[in-house]
């Protein structure tokens, strides 16, 4: 094992961890609140603005804000100086990111914003830098040393800036009362999209058993549906009870094969509305430690089964 490689890796992680701890210890509460209020109340767009490694951080933060309820995008600092500044309107807000605050490519834009009355949030390490002096509010990263062995490559500073930007995004999301349903609208694909889809899109067909069936008859019906459970309905189609294959096995041992399933059924089973989110159903399955939930419509009539195995396979 190459111990020097392990040593360098762990030292890097340790330095970046300490940089985050230092940020927390020096957290600018009043300035953070002001920044969140500006971001939450902006009428136009939030424009993230940077170059180099901080430009990559800007791209990620713009994507995070956009996916959590705020209209946001990234503008490259060099391109802004050659026409892209025309995207900026007076109702917008600029987030300028520069560790030193002296990246020359940012100067013209932050100064133009200040003259136009466009709010600027500066994520920099110096309120006395050019970016800092032209910002409405400055949030420092308090990084004095990079984790790079040469002390040159942006490492600790970019990690802390990313974390600070995420903290702003989450605080703004909370201020806007951004919901799981809202999140689903901007994430229609993949597992995230499925987790925020309605349960009815994942339900299995409803295995209906007759109240007069005995245990053996119920076993056959449940096995035919291959989801290990069944429901018993009242004459008005409302839910009378629920049995799992485990309930049937216990009934077979304790009451005999000719006993009625109504003697083994659960009379008040757990249910969930078909319009609830899939993630809510998955959470209930885990909370109640059950393998199935009865899905009901708005009239509380059973319409399907949410199976834990299917749910876990689809949602992860």
Give residue for tokens 């056959």: 220
Give the mean model confidence (pLDDT) for residues 126-145.
Answer: 92
Is 19 strand, coil or helix? helix
Average pLDDT over residues 93-121: 86
Residue 138 in any domain: the answer is yes
Question: Is residue 160 located within the same domain as residue 307?
Answer: no
With respect to residue 186, please indicate whether it lies within any of the assigned structural domains: no
Question: 168-178: per-residue pLDDT in tens?
Answer: 999 999 999 98
Residues 104 and 23 grouped into a single domain: yes
pLDDT, one tens digit per residue, over 247-264 is: 888 888 888 888 888 888
Per residue in 137-154, pLDDT (tens digit) is 999 999 989 998 888 889
Instruction: Tell whether 171 and 222 lie within a shared domain.
Output: no
Distance of alpha carbon 156 from alpha carbon 130, whole angstroms: 22
CATH number at residue 249: 3.10.580.10
Q: Are 223 and 122 contained in the same domain?
A: no
Summary mean pLDDT of the chain: 87
Residue 189 lies in a domain: no
Domain that holds residue 86: 3-178
3-state secondary structure 156-172: HHHHHHHHHHHHHHHHH
Categorize the per-residue pLDDT at 186 as very low, low, confident or very high, splitting at 50, 70 and 90: low
**Do residues 164 and 21 both lie within one domain?**
yes
Q: Are 287 and 156 contained in the same domain?
A: no
Let me know whether 114 and 233 are in one domain. Answer: no
Per-residue model confidence as pLDDT tens digits over 51-104? 889 999 999 999 999 988 899 999 887 776 665 666 778 899 999 999 888 888
Say whether both 99 and 30 belong to one domain: yes
Residue 82, pLDDT score = 60
Q: Any idea what the Cα angle at residue 42 is, between residues 39 and 46, rounded to 5°? A: 65
Residue 90 belongs to a domain = yes
Q: How far is CA 232 from the centre of its chain?
A: 38
d(CA 311, CA 309): 5
Average pLDDT over residues 99-119: 83
Is 9 within the bounds of a domain? Answer: yes
* Domain termination residue (choose one: 178, 209, 244): 178
pTM over 0.75: no
Domain match, 154 and 244 both: no
Selected residue with higher pLDDT from 140 and 216 = 140
- Do 13 and 162 lie in one domain? The reply is yes
In angstroms, rounded to a whole number, what is the distance separating the alpha carbons of residues 185 and 90? 28
Classify residue 248: in a domain, yes or no.
yes
Instruction: Give residue 310's pLDDT.
Output: 78
Asked if 20 and 159 touch (Cβ cutoff 8 Å), the reply is yes
Q: Domain check: are 108 and 163 in the same one?
A: yes
- Cα dist. 314→190, 282, 291 in Å? 10, 10, 15
Residue 106 located in a structural domain: yes
Same domain assignment for residues 161 and 226: no
State yes or no: pLDDT of 316 exceeds 70: no
Give a yes or no: residue 187 inside a domain: no
CATH code assigned at 41: 3.40.50.10490
What's the domain count of the chain? Answer: 2
């Amino acid at each position: 094992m190459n111990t020097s490689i392990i040593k360098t890796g762990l030292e890097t992680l340790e330095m970046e961890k300490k940089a985050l701890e230092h940020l927390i210890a020096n957290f600018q509460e009043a300035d953070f609140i002001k920044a969140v209020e500006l971001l939450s109340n902006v009428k136009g767009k939030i424009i993230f603005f940077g170059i180099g490694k901080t430009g990559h951080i800007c791209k990620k933060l713009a994507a995070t804000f956009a996916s959590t309820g705020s209209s946001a995008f990234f503008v490259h600092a060099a391109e802004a100086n050659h026409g892209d500044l025309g995207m900026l309107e007076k109702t917008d807000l600029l987030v300028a990111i520069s560790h030193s605050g002296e990246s020359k490519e940012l100067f013209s834009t932050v100064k133009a914003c200040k003259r136009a009355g466009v709010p600027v949030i500066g994520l920099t390490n110096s309120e006395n830098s050019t970016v800092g002096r032209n910002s409405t509010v400055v949030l420092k990263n308090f990084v004095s040393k990079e984790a790079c062995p040469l002390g040159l490559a942006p490492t600790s500073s970019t990690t802390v800036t990313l974390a600070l930007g995420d903290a702003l995004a989450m605080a703004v999301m909370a201020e806007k009362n951004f919901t799981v349903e809202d999140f689903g609208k901007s994430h229609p694909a993949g597992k995230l999209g499925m987790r925020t889809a309605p349960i009815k899109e994942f339900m299995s067909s409803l295995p209906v058993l007759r109240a007069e069936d005995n245990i053996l008859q119920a076993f056959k019906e449940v096995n035919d549906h291959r989801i290990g459970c069944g429901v018993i309905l009242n004459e008005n189609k409302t839910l009378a009870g629920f049995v799992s294959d485990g309930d049937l096995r216990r009934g077979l041992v304790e009451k005999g094969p000719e006993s009625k399933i109504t003697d083994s059924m659960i009379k008040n089973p757990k249910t969930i509305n078909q319009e609830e989110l899939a993630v809510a159903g998955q959470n209930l399955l885990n909370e109640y430690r059950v393998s199935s939930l009865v899905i009901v419509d708005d009239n509380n009539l059973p319409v399907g089964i949410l199976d834990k195995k299917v749910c876990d396979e689809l949602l992860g």
